[in-house]
Amino acid sequence: MQEGRLRWDTSLANLVFSQQYLHIATNVPSSSVFGFGEHQHPSFKHNMNHIAYGMYTKDQSPKMYANLYGVHPFYMCIEKDSNTHGVLFLNSNAQDVTLCPEPSLTFRTIGGVLDFYIFLGPTPENVIQQYTETIGRPHLPPYWSLGYQLSRWGYPNIGAVEKVVRRMEQYGIPYDVQYGDIDYMDRQLDFTYDKDNYAGLPEFIQELKKDGLHYVIILDPFLSKDQSRGTYQPYELGEQLGIWVNNSDGVTPAVGKALSPGNSVYPDYSNPKTADWWTQMCVQFHNVLPYDGIWIDMNEPSNFLNGQISGCAHNNLNYPPYVPRISDYSLFQNTLCPDSKSFLGDLYDTHSLFGWSEAAPTFQAIKEATGKRPFVLSRSTFVGNGKYTAHWLGDNHAVWEDMHMSIIGILEFNLFGIPQVGADICGFYYDTTLELCLRWTQLGAFYPLSRNHNAIGQKEQDPAVFGIEFAAIARSTLQIRYSLLPYLYTLFYEAHAFGNTVARGLMHEFTADPETHGIDTAFLWGSALMIAPVLQEGARSVDVYFPEAPWFDYYTGDKVPASSHNKYASIHAPLEKIPLFIRGGYILPTQTPATRTAKSRLNPFGLVVALDDQGEASGSLFWDDGESIDTVENGIYFFARYTYREGHLKTSIVDNNYRGVNSLSYDMIQFLGVTSRPNGVTVNGKSIRSSDIHFQGNGKLIVHISAPLGEELDLMLQ
């Protein structure tokens, strides 16, 4: 990084700091600006032509440029010399930012202070590492949550869920998580289940667990206040404790209307008493339904009214002199009045913190209820949510455009420090089509969070419902995901320990190549795996840009010709294939897939060694039991580094404090980019039989071995 480089220049306009309006503008070094959320927009690299983004949490299906469920006033800028910096505007009030072609940014907010943090990089990965060091490192997810997940709003009864489980099993489709949406509840009341339509649900969940499946329940952030006395303990205990968001008087509960019957009150999760109450309710309910994780939805907070039952008073909090460029220009549309009171202060200041404040108590509640590593999926997010939750991109639509937009959202949330992110595969609203759902299933198999979910009234869209041909393609694609889970899990460890991204844009790795700045039709897992999905109806090929690096076709091991570097190449993509490429210079740990991670974790490991132009490669593997709390913090894990050079593959075991590796082994090593067939191969000094060595003319070498995972591997090509 060059000294004295100007990254923050406010000479563009005057600073305004008034009672309910703060305004500051800055020039930025280039127009390669990424970040700001949560919004749907047509490109990962922002359009700087006077585009304004409002930030204020709202229950709203994604639509272009509108403020959505989360608030992340953070951006990253790649400068003209390829150095990168990031800036966080830490402010929870309603706000907007306008991107202009100078290039410049103008920030406006209606409260708080102008609190900016600048992260100097110089690489994109350095920026995110520095950012997450400040806001909190991402959680390490339980291993099972990296498996494929199925959900639906509209399972009418437990029989419908059983039918889905059976047909997924019939086709052998990998699958680890089944969700219960609001259908499982008794009249959509939190901490209840429907004993008529879902009779036997506790026993059913136990049966799922025996087969290696996990069950995640939804909980909404509002409780009915209108149940008969003595029949609904969660509300009555909360009422005794006085834990609700209150009206402007600070005494009477704010009453809205939501999914639960009658009118609703809203727990104030910023109040420590609420956190204790929430934990107690979640632990008690786990004794009824033995869930594995919790999905917290509608926590913007959502309200079917505009303000409270009684409306919102005409004052300067509910009707401020300036309303940022948020959807419908109202601070209380489909939520509570801004002059409502929380433990932290007026909702005018804390509204966008509601989902964030629910995250930590839910994380803690699962710990206490299950004794295992929590999985929390949250719709509403704020700066720092990644420490506790995963995220999905909300109520999208079964259209091709939304499938493309999902890549942009996934890349952005990795910038925001929430790497476990995905979109509703095949779309939430509208009936999907077979081709759209198939292509989306292929893409979704490479979301960090891979979940298929759709809305009541839409046709079923799980990958087993379309018949044998669709199921076979879904199965083979998800088997690729499951085979790569050791690599993906290692990326999540690096995110947790060092703040790295998991999914990243090509610009993240090839910052000096300006063409990569505008690419959002392909993305990377870590540094080494490129995913280039089909995003257009009827397409049977994809134009893939190959930055300057060795690239190998995942399926064949063929090396992408050097003549294709720094340009787009048309890649064949029949209906049964999503194009995947491995970058030379990297070693990826793999594992023989199974239909459940509980089973795949017992299978043999492999390594894919993709050589760079110098014939070298490196990689690593993190492994623990996948479910215990704080294994990294307590040092109870296995970590190995792999290096290959001059025909010598060697592992160095850095940490060996997880005994579970003692029963695991390597069974296959694949080399890509080998120039000639070796005369022989030795593993730990012992020669490998020639029948276990397979060399292909394209430079792919497969060596079958049997070696313990927990011991250092020393392989020589002779």
Catalytic machinery residues: 297, 300
Judge contact between 184 and 162, C-beta under 8 A: no
Residue of 697, 688, 694 whose CA lies nearest to 716 = 688
- Helical segments of 289-353, H only: 347-350
Residue of 548, 416, 506, 507 whose CA lies nearest to 78 = 507
The pLDDT value given to residue 4: 61
Contacting residues for 135 by C-beta, under 8 A, at least 6 apart = 88, 383, 384, 386, 387, 417
- Summarised one tens digit per residue, pLDDT across range 263-309 is 999 999 999 999 999 999 999 999 999 999 999 999 999 999 999 99
The pLDDT value given to residue 3: 56
The pLDDT value given to residue 8: 85
Strands 149-150 and 177-180: parallel
The pLDDT value given to residue 12: 79
**Secondary structure element (H or E) that encloses residue 132, with its range:** helix 124-135
- Helical segments of 499-546, H only: 506-509, 514-517
* Rounded alpha-carbon distances, angstroms, from residue 607 to 569, 613, 615, 670, 674: 28, 19, 16, 6, 15
Once rounded to an integer, what is the mean pLDDT over residues 35-64?
Answer: 97
- Summarised one tens digit per residue, pLDDT across range 502-536 is 999 999 999 999 999 999 999 999 999 999 999 99
- Summarised one tens digit per residue, pLDDT across range 363-383 is 999 999 999 999 999 999 999
Rounded Cα distance between 302 and 221, Å, is 8
**Domains detected in the chain:** 10-133 (2.60.40.1760)
pTM: 0.98
The pLDDT value given to residue 13: 81
- Helical segments of 264-353, H only: 272-286, 347-350
pLDDT at 412 over 70: yes
pLDDT at 1 over 80: no
The pLDDT value given to residue 10: 83
Rounded Cα distance between 363 and 508, Å, is 30
604 burial type by CB count under 10 A (0-12 exposed, 13-18 middle, 19+ buried): middle
- Summarised one tens digit per residue, pLDDT across range 687-704 is 999 999 999 999 999 999
- Summarised one tens digit per residue, pLDDT across range 449-508 is 999 999 999 999 999 999 999 999 999 999 999 999 999 999 999 999 999 999 999 999
Q: What secondary structure, in 3-state letters, does 87-125 show?
A: EEECCCCCEEEEEECCCEEEEEECCCCCCEEEECCCCHH
pLDDT at 52 over 60: yes
Rounded Cα distance between 419 and 409, Å, is 11
pLDDT at 2 over 60: no
pLDDT at 260 over 70: yes
What per-residue string of b and e applies to 62-91 under the rule 16 or more CB within 10 Å gives b?
A: beeebbbbbbbbbbbbbbeebbbbbbbbbb
Judge contact between 211 and 596, C-beta under 8 A: yes
The pLDDT value given to residue 7: 84
pLDDT at 235 over 50: yes
Judge contact between 391 and 379, C-beta under 8 A: yes
- Summarised one tens digit per residue, pLDDT across range 606-641 is 999 999 999 999 999 999 999 999 999 999 999 999
Residue of 58, 56, 97 whose CA lies nearest to 75 = 97
Rounded Cα distance between 216 and 378, Å, is 12
In 3-state terms, what secondary structure has residue 512?
coil
Residue of 350, 327, 326, 356 whose CA lies nearest to 338 = 350
